[in-house]
Chains A and B, each alone.
Chain A
Amino acid sequence: MAPRSGARARRARAPFRGAPPWLVCLASAALFASPAASDPAYLQSLLARADALGLTDDPTWHALLH
Chain B
Amino acid sequence: MRSLADDPSFFLAPEGRRDPRAELAATLAAFFDPPPAIAAAGRADPRAEREAQHPQCRFVARYRWLAEQLAFDPSRLPPVPCPRFEEWFASFTPERLTLVFPEAFMNNPASMFGHTLLRVDATEDAGRRDLLAFAINYAAYTNGEAGALFAVKGIAGRYPGYFSIAPYYEKVKEYGDWENRDIWEYPLDFTRDEIERVLRHLWELDRVRFDYWFLDENCSYQLLDLLEVGRPGMRLIEGNPFYLIPADSVRSVVAKAGLGGDVRWRPSAATELRAAADSLSSRDQRRVLRLASGRLDPDSEEIAALPEDRRAAVLGLAYDLLRHRFLSQRVTRSESVELSRRLLAARSRVPYAGQPAHAPARPAASPDQGHGTARVSLESGFWDHEPYVELRIRPAFHGLLDPQGGYTRGAEIQFLDTALRVLPEESRVRLQELVLLDVLSLAPRDRLFEPISWRFDTGLRTRLLPEHGDRLEAEPVWRSRGGAGLAYQLGPVLAYLMGEATLDVAPALANDVALGPGAELGLYLGSPADLWRGHLFARTTGFALGERTLASSVGIEQRVRIGASSAIELHASLERAFGESWLEAGLRWSRFF
A binds B: yes
- Separation in Å of the B213 CB from the closest CB of chain A? 14
Contact B88 A12 (CB under 8 A): yes
Whether the pair A11, B87 counts as a contact (CB closer than 8 A) is yes
In the bound complex, do residue A14 and residue B32 qualify as a contact, i.e. CB atoms below 8 Å apart? Answer: no
| Residues of chain A from 20 to 66 with CB closer than 8 A to chain B in the complex | 23-24, 26-28, 30-31, 33-39, 42-43, 46-47, 49-50, 53, 55-66
Contact partner of B65 (CB less than 8 A), chosen from A39, A47, A64, is A64
What is the CA–CA distance of A1 and B134 in the complex, to the nearest angstrom?
A: 12
Residue-wise, chain B 70-101 has the 8 Å CB interface mask toward A (1 for contact) of 10110011101101101110010000000000
B15 within 8 A of A: no
- Say which residue of B4, B10, B84 sits within 8 Å of A15 (CB atoms): B84
Query: Considering only CB atoms, which chain B residue lies closest to A41 in the complex?
Result: B76
**Chain B residues within 8 Å of A18, by CB:** 87
Give Cα distance in the complex from A56 to B69, angstroms: 12
Asked whether, in the complex, the Cβ of A2 is within 8 Å of the Cβ of B70, the reply is: no
Q: Is the CB of B201 within 8 A of A64?
A: yes
Instruction: Give bound CA distance, A26 to B81, whole Å.
Output: 7
Given A34-B80, A43-B29, A47-B25, A61 and B165 contact (CB-CB distance below 8 Å): no
B206–chain A nearest beta-carbon distance, Å: 4
Q: Which single residue of chain A is at the shortest CB-CB distance from B229? A: A63
Contacts of A2 in B (CB 8 A): 88, 165
Q: CB distance A61 to B24 under 8 Å?
A: yes
| Pairwise interchain contact B229-A64, C-beta atoms closer than 8 A | yes
Residues of chain B with a CB closer than 8 A to A9's CB: 91
Question: Which residue of the partner chain B has the closest CB to A53?
Answer: B69
Q: A11 CB to closest chain B CB, in angstroms?
A: 7
Inter-subunit contact A43/B28 (CB<8 Å): yes
Chain A residues with CB under 8 Å of B395's CB are: none
**A33 to B78, Cβ gap below 8 A?**
yes
Q: How far apart sit A28 and B65, CA to CA, in the bound complex (Å)?
A: 25
Q: Which residues of B contact A34 (CB under 8 A)?
A: 34-35, 78, 80
For residue B445, CB closer than 8 A to chain A, the reply is no
The distance in angstroms between the C-alpha atoms of A57 and B204, with both chains bound, is 20
Q: Is the CB of B49 within 8 A of A15?
A: yes
| Chain A positions within 8 Å of B23 at CB level | 65
Restricting to B36-66, which residues have a CB under 8 Å from any CB of A?
Answer: 36-38, 41-42, 46, 49, 53, 61-62, 65-66
Contact B76 A19 (CB under 8 A): no
User: Is A16's CB under 8 angstroms from B134's CB?
Assistant: no
A29 to B204, CA, bound (A): 25
Chain A contacts for B86, CB-based, 8 A? 23
Query: Which of A4, A12, A66 is close to B205, meaning CB atoms less than 8 Å apart?
Result: A66
B232 close to chain A: CB less than 8 A: yes
Q: Is the CB of A16 within 8 A of B91?
A: no
Closest-by-CB residue of A relative to B202 is A1
Contact between A19 and B91, CB atoms less than 8 A apart: no
**Smallest Cβ distance from B97 to chain A, in angstroms?**
15
**Does B482 count as interface, using CB distance less than 8 angstroms?**
no
B2-29 with Cβ < 8 A to chain A: 3-5, 10, 16-17, 20-21, 23-25, 28-29
Is B164 at the interface (CB under 8 A from chain A)? yes
B88 touching A50 by the CB < 8 A rule?
no
Structural contact, A30 and B42, CB atoms closer than 8 A = no
Contacts of A19 in B (CB 8 A): 83-84, 87
B5, B78, B83, B232: the one within 8 Å of A16 (CB) = B83
**CB closest residue in chain B, given A15:** B84
Complex Cα distance, B134 from A12, in Å, reads: 14
Q: For residue B227, which residue of chain A has the nearest CB? A: A63
CB pair B38 A16 closer than 8 Å: yes
Interface residues of B in 482-540 (CB under 8 A from A): none
Give per-residue flags for B189-207: 1 if the beta carbon is below 8 A from chain A beta carbons, else 0: 0000000000001111111
Q: How far is the CA of A53 from the CA of B84 in the complex (A)?
A: 32
Residue in contact with B232 in the complex, picked from A4, A11, A26, A60, CB distance below 8 Å? A60
Any chain A CB within 8 A of the CB of B147? Answer: no
Please tell me if the beta carbons of B42 and A12 are within 8 angstroms of each other in the complex: no
Does B163 touch A at the CB level, under 8 Å?
yes
Chain A residues with CB under 8 Å of B46's CB are 13
Q: Contacts of B49 on A, CB cut-off 8 Å?
A: 14-15
* Chain A neighbourhood of B83, CB < 8 A: 15-16, 19, 23-24, 27
* B14 vs chain A, min Cβ distance (A): 14
- Indicate which residue in B10, B77, B84 contacts A66 across the interface (CB closer than 8 Å): B10
Q: Are A37 and B91 in contact (CB under 8 A)?
A: no
Pairwise interchain contact A50-B69, C-beta atoms closer than 8 A: yes
Jot down 29 A-B pairs with beta carbons below 8 A, ordered by A: A1-B163, A1-B203, A1-B206, A3-B91, A3-B134, A4-B164, A12-B88, A15-B42, A19-B87, A24-B83, A27-B81, A30-B81, A31-B34, A31-B37, A33-B78, A38-B33, A39-B76, A39-B77, A43-B29, A46-B77, A55-B69, A56-B21, A59-B233, A63-B229, A64-B61, A64-B65, A64-B201, A65-B3, A66-B205
* Closest A-B pairs by Cβ, 5 of them: A38-B32, A15-B84, A1-B206, A59-B232, A15-B41
Known: A4-B170, A43-B28. 4 other contacts (CB 8 A): A4-B165, A12-B88, A15-B84, A18-B87
